[in-house]
């Protein structure tokens, strides 16, 4: 789903706009502003919307671990979770499996070749990616990860879990109602409350304070303090 489609869906739930009606650009801009204000408010309550991001990074020959985050070897926003990916060699893509700490600790860390698995160690402020098999040469790593969504952009594509899309749509529809001098329908209000409650009870992500694999880490709530 793209952002414009999500905004249109929320506007339609608020007003009498039908499928064939044209929504002018100013309405989209206003709806986007309201949506980002809503997401910022949710963030202060510990509700962070996550989306799937695909990025490409260079693996260097002989290097089997990489920091990821602002200023890291992979200089990008720090993922909350790595969920998949592949290693590209020439025109061939080799899937890479995501493993846990126990499997990584039990792996042979001296083998050289095309990485076939990775362990994501979510240290903070930068996390660390450990590869199973030391890259024999420079490869391209394509990584799918779950990252916090700070703000929406009008032309952006979204890859959100269904529960996030639903919560944004119905709660934004309620928020937009005063802009159109309308009262939100009761079914819309009910759906907004239900979908928001579903997000409110999601477990809070944790980050690790330690940076040494295999040692029991100290955990802390990343939204506390």
User: 148 forms bridges with which residues in the sheet?
Assistant: 50
- pLDDT tens-digit profile of 120-174? 999 989 999 999 999 999 999 999 999 888 789 998 888 888 888 999 999 999 9
Residue of 124, 115, 111, 97 whose CA lies nearest to 60: 115
Are 129 and 85 in contact by the 8 Å Cβ rule? The answer is no
What pLDDT shows up at residue 202?
Answer: 56
Tokens 């089997």 correspond to 64
Place 214 in a pLDDT band, splitting at 50, 70 and 90: very low
Place 195 in a pLDDT band, splitting at 50, 70 and 90: very high
Place 16 in a pLDDT band, splitting at 50, 70 and 90: low
Q: Which two tokens stand for residue 127?
A: 């996390």
Range of lowest pLDDT (90-104, 134-148, 157-171, 206-220): 206-220
What count of other Cβ atoms lies within 10 Å of the Cβ of residue 80? 19
For residues 202-217, give the mean pLDDT.
42
Question: What sign for the dihedral angle of Cα 43, 72, 76, 90?
Answer: negative
- pLDDT tens-digit profile of 48-87? 888 888 999 999 999 999 999 999 999 999 999 999 999 9
Residue of 197, 185, 225, 199 whose CA lies nearest to 50: 199
User: 65 forms bridges with which residues in the sheet?
Assistant: 130
Q: How many CA within 13 A on the CB side of residue 189?
A: 6
Angle 198-201-206 (CA atoms, 0-180°, nearest 5)? 130
* Helix runs in the chain, H state only: 3-14, 25-44, 101-106, 162-176, 186-200
For residues 36-53, give the mean pLDDT.
89
33 pLDDT above the threshold of 80: yes
CA 4 – CA 12 distance, rounded (Å) = 12
- Helix orientation angle between 3-14 and 162-176, rounded to the nearest 10 degrees: 50
Residue of 11, 16, 28, 33 whose CA lies nearest to 169: 11
What pLDDT shows up at residue 222?
Answer: 29
CATH 1.10.3230.20 placement within the chain? 3-47+150-200
**CATH number among 1.10.3720.10, 3.30.360.10, 1.10.3230.20, 3.30.1490.20, domain 3-47+150-200:** 1.10.3230.20
Are 119 and 100 in contact by the 8 Å Cβ rule? The answer is yes
């Amino acid at each position: 789903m793209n952002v414009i489609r999500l905004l249109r869906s929320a506007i339609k739930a608020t007003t009498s706009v039908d499928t064939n009606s044209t929504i002018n650009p100013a309405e989209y801009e206003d709806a986007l502003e309201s949506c980002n204000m809503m997401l910022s408010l949710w963030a202060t309550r510990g509700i962070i919307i996550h989306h799937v991001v695909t990025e490409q990074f260079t693996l260097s020959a002989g290097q089997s671990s990489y920091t990821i985050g602002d200023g890291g070897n992979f200089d990008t926003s720090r993922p909350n979770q790595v969920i998949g990916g592949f290693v590209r060699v020439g025109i061939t893509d080799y899937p890479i499996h995501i493993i846990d700490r126990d499997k990584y600790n039990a792996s042979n860390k001296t083998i050289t070749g095309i990485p076939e698995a990775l362990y994501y160690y979510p240290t903070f402020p930068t996390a660390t990616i450990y590869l199973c098999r030391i890259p024999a040469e420079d490869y391209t790593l394509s990584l799918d990860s779950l990252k916090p969504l700070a703000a929406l952009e009008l032309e952006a594509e979204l890859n959100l879990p269904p529960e996030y899309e639903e919560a944004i749509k119905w709660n934004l529809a309620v928020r937009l109602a005063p802009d159109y001098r309308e009262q939100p329908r009761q079914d819309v209000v009910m759906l907004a409350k239900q979908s928001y409650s579903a997000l409110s009870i999601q477990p809070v992500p944790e980050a690790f304070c330690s940076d040494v694999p295999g040692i029991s880490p100290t955990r802390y709530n990343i939204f506390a303090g």
